[in-house]
Amino acid sequence: MGPPLLAEPTASGLYSRFPGGTVTTVYSFCSQPNCTDGDDVAAGLTQATDGDFYGTTGFGGNIDCEYPNGCGTVFRVTAGGALRTLHTFELVDGDEPRGTLLQATDGNFYGTTSFGGNHLFGHINLLGTVFRITAGGKLTTLYNFGGPDGDSPFGGLTQGTDGNFYGTTSFGGDPTCNAPHGCGTVFRITPTGTLTTLHRFEMTDGALPAGGLIQATNGNFYGTTNGGYLCGAACGTVFMITPGGSLTTLHNFNGADGSEPNGGLVQATSGVFYGTTGSGGTNGSGTVFSLSTGLEPFVALVRSSGKIGQTGGILGQGFTGTTSVSLNGTPAAFTVASDTYITATIPPGATTGYVTVTTPSGTLTSNVRFRVLR
């Protein structure tokens, strides 16, 4: 296999970047009259099991929706730049998607819109939605936020090991916090659209979460809030929440170590969490931070699905001297490319399950199940 293509969004286009540093524009949005193909790519891309890339634009599409900007689109683009608009939002089914799409285990894509839906705030649709869309472009609105259950989900979704989806809303929840808009929520939603509000922020435990959640190797979810208690609703927090809704504040930012973490977290294969803040720090312009909670090292998969015979990448540490790689107990042929990277071939007879790598210092297990496609 050659080096993987990395496709990334800009404000008005998509480009591909190769190891040599050459940048090629794959597609430029607003190439169609009135930007019916989309405008303002705010979220990242998801490479699906079919090899194409799926994403959203915050504006563009139907200019009669929130005239003259449009309410945004969902699109599919090939590595060669052939773009197809899968859906154009019409306000009542959502407006301004800002989170990255998630391809779930059922093969469909799930996402959120920051605004729109069929619940009114004043005289306009504001509160946001959760939606499902097929690779062919059939969109289903799974949930319309209404205020006490959340308002404005700016981040994307993550699918838990229980099959449900988890996310945050930046506003809504307890109306006495940040009245009348609320300080935001954490929610769980089933694939069929049943939503449970797991937590309503109250400022002392954080406020205004703008990023999504990640499920860590211990099964709990981790995220950040933009606001918090120490700096008068300005500094933000890092939190953990169980699938049942028990929330623990892990860190309160104080400005000197950062302020206003707008994004989510990444769990490195060392078990440590990493993230960023939008401001604060020594120069007042933001920080990169790490947070250790004592979780054990693991291995991460470059792709979480594939077919028998395909080769995929495994990220980790201490791979030098690795003696075996298995997929759900079935041994796989592998090559140690470096101390932190292994390539392995999906073996005949393999079934969906966790990947294990046996190294001189012990056996490491993947943080998610690898899905074997038939």
Q: What is the pLDDT of residues 23-42, one digit of tens each?
A: 899 999 999 999 999 999 98
The predicted pLDDT at position 118 comes to 84
The average pLDDT across 149-168 equals 95
The phi-psi region of residue 11 (left if phi > 0; otherwise alpha if psi is between -120 and 50; otherwise beta) is: alpha
Distance CA 37, CA 139 (A): 17
Provide φ and ψ at 35, rounded to 5°: 55, 40
Place of tokens 């392995």: 344
Q: Which residues are CB-contacts of 309 (< 8 A; sequence separation ≥ 6)?
A: 345, 346, 348
Q: Which of the 8 DSSP states describes residue 35? A: G
**pLDDT value at residue 230:** 60
The answer, yes or no, to whether residue 82 has pLDDT greater than 50, is yes
Q: Give the percent of the chain with pLDDT over 70.
A: 91
Give the CA angle between residues 170, 174, 180 to the nearest 5°: 80
- Residue 181: which of 171, 194, 169 has the closest Cα? 171
Mean pLDDT of 62-78: 92
Q: What pLDDT digit, counting tens, does each position of 308-335 carry? A: 999 999 999 999 999 999 999 999 999 9
Least confident window among 87-96, 118-127, 362-371? 118-127
Range 69-88 average pLDDT: 96
> Is 153 within 8 Å of 173 (Cβ atoms)?
no
Confidence bin at 66 (pLDDT 50/70/90) = confident
Tallying the residues shown for the chain, one arrives at: 374
pLDDT of residue 229: 67
Higher pLDDT, 17 or 168: 168
Domains of the chain: 1-108 (2.120.10.30), 145-296 (2.120.10.30), 300-373 (2.60.40.10)
245-266 pLDDT, tens digit per residue, is 999 999 999 999 999 999 999 9
What predicted TM-score, i.e. pTM, was given to this entire model?
A: 0.90
Place of tokens 């071939």: 345
Confidence tier at 67 by pLDDT (50, 70, 90) = confident
Whole-angstrom distance between the N-terminal and C-terminal Cα of the chain?
Answer: 21
Q: Which two tokens stand for residue 347?
A: 């073996």
**Residue 13, C-beta contacts closer than 8 angstroms, at least 6 positions apart:** 25, 26, 27, 28, 29, 41
Percent of the chain at pLDDT > 90 equals: 81
pLDDT confidence band for 123 (50 / 70 / 90): very low
Mean pLDDT rounded to a whole number for the chain: 90
